[in-house]
Each structure stands twice: as C-alpha cells, then as structure tokens.
Amino acid sequence: MSIYHVLRVFKMAVSPTSIGRFFAFIVAAVFLAGCSSTMTRVQTWDGDAAEGGTALLEAPGDIRVAKVNGRNMGNFLMDDLALNYDLLPGENQVVFSYKTIWAKAGVVRNGESKVHVVQTEPHAVTFTAQAGETYRFDFDKPDSRQEAEALREDFSGAIVNEAGEEVARFEPWDGESVVAASPARTPVSGDASATADAVDGNTLEQLKALWHKASEEEKRTFLRWAFE
C-alpha cells in the first residue's frame, strides 16, 4: 500500500465538521500500521516495475507534483507532506507547483484565514531517469513571504542527481505533455472500499499502538492537519 492509496481514502473520510475531521484523523492513524514502510513513496504507474529497477524522485513538502507523464498524481490531504516518487527508467515529465503557507501577523478576524498561501503557476521538468538513481528538486528557498511572492513571477531551479549534478531545468508548463503515457505508466488509483476496513476492530487500541509506530515527522504532520 502506498501513500497515494492512504491519503485518497482519508480525503473521502473527511467531513466539514470537527467530528468528521477527528474521525478521519483516527482512520489515518489506523492506516499507519500497514503503510509505515511505504508512507512516503508514490508509484507512478500501474503494475510491476521494470526488471532493471526504478528511479526515485524526492519532492519536499513545498513542491506539489500534479502529473507524471501526463497522468494525474491526485490531491493529497496534507499540504506539506514530503513524498518520494518511483519512476520507471527512461524519459519522464513531471508537472508541479511550488506552494508555501505563511502565518498572518496580527489579529485574524472570525472566518478569515490565518495564513497566506503562496503558489506558483505550474512548471514542468523532463529528464531521463536511470534505474537505481535518486533525484531531487534543487531551488532557492525563500526566507520570507515577500521572497516567496517574488517566486510567482520568476521560479527557477533544476532536478539534480545524487552527486548534485544538474540533469534538467524547470520550465513554465504549457499545458501539454511531451512524454506519452503508455499503459505501463498508468497511475495507481485509490480504493474507496478501504475506508470501511480501516475502522474495523478496537479503534482506540489500534490508535495507541500505531501512534508509537509513527515517526516524529508523521506525528507532527497528522496533528498539524487534525487541529489546524
């Protein structure tokens, strides 16, 4: 089970009420048991991987990957979740945006958002992935909201390999995919039936056990979402 499956189910479980959100939080914790080893990995195709292995693309929490090879990667419940994307070897196109959230200074009126959301227009990067190689996004991160706002007009960076060598530059996305999506590259879909299974059994005891298994980062992420 991948994080893609898990968060798609969480999204279906959430209601606008605080009770619904708390319920969804419990569901999320229950899912940690079966997913602890793959919580940050997203498979970008359906079926088995190539015999020669796969490549890995590390995306920090402020990079929102929308498409890989023309296929939607889905909307995840937690905005600042860092994810790793498994890629098949060969040419891959990744469409993404840069998004950050900044707390508002001063008094916030009732019903007003407590944060400023800064997001760039979609960008794309196309590169040839090598099996066994790990790639990551490399760009200058802003130290203030003003600097983040400036990125809306000029967001630049590159994909680099493990040695820190640049393999491809970011470009504004023109809305078209340049890498054809073959049947082997179909994204994994969510399973709505998993929602009911997740809450079977003694939920409280499962929650206690799973909380101890979760990493510190996973705990912070869930708490930030549940009580924001």
Domain count, the chain: 2
Q: Considering only 24-38, 76-90, 94-108, which range has the smallest mean pLDDT?
A: 24-38
- For residue range 150-207, list pLDDT tens digits in order: 988 899 999 999 999 999 999 999 887 766 554 444 444 334 333 334 334 455 666 7
Residue 209 has what pLDDT? 65
Residue 102 has pLDDT above 50, yes or no: yes
Q: Measure CA 180 to chain center.
A: 23
Q: What range does the domain containing 146 cover?
A: 49-180
Asked if 13 and 110 sit in the same domain, the reply is no
Whole-number average pLDDT of the chain? 74
Residue 63 has what pLDDT? 94
Higher pLDDT, 2 or 167: 167
Asked if 113 and 157 sit in the same domain, the reply is yes
Residue 119 has pLDDT above 50, yes or no: yes
- For residue range 3-35, list pLDDT tens digits in order: 444 444 444 444 444 455 555 555 554 444 444
Asked if 175 and 198 sit in the same domain, the reply is no
Asked if 225 and 176 sit in the same domain, the reply is no
Higher pLDDT, 209 or 21: 209
Asked if 128 and 225 sit in the same domain, the reply is no
Last residue of a domain, one of 180, 198, 219: 180
Q: Is 113 helix (H, G, I), strand (E, B) or coil?
A: coil
Residue 117 has what pLDDT? 87
Taking the complete model, does pTM exceed 0.85, yes or no?
A: no
Asked if 66 and 40 sit in the same domain, the reply is no
Residue 101 has pLDDT above 70, yes or no: yes
Asked if 94 and 111 sit in the same domain, the reply is yes
Find, among 133, 127, 177, the residue nearest to 157 by Cα.
127
Band the pLDDT of 218: cuts 50, 70, 90: confident
Residue 211 has what pLDDT? 72
Quick check: 26 and 195 in contact, CB under 8 A?
no
Show contacts of 176-179: CB within 8 Å, 24+ apart. 177/67, 177/69, 177/70, 177/93, 177/95, 178/93, 178/124, 178/126, 179/69, 179/70, 179/91, 179/92, 179/93, 179/126
Residue 227 has what pLDDT? 58
Tokens of 199: 């809450």
Band the pLDDT of 120: cuts 50, 70, 90: very high
Instruction: Tell me the average pLDDT across 119-132.
Output: 95
Quick check: 6 and 32 in contact, CB under 8 A?
no
Asked if 162 and 66 sit in the same domain, the reply is yes
Asked if 67 and 174 sit in the same domain, the reply is yes
Asked if 171 and 67 sit in the same domain, the reply is yes
Asked if 35 and 138 sit in the same domain, the reply is no
Asked if 124 and 207 sit in the same domain, the reply is no
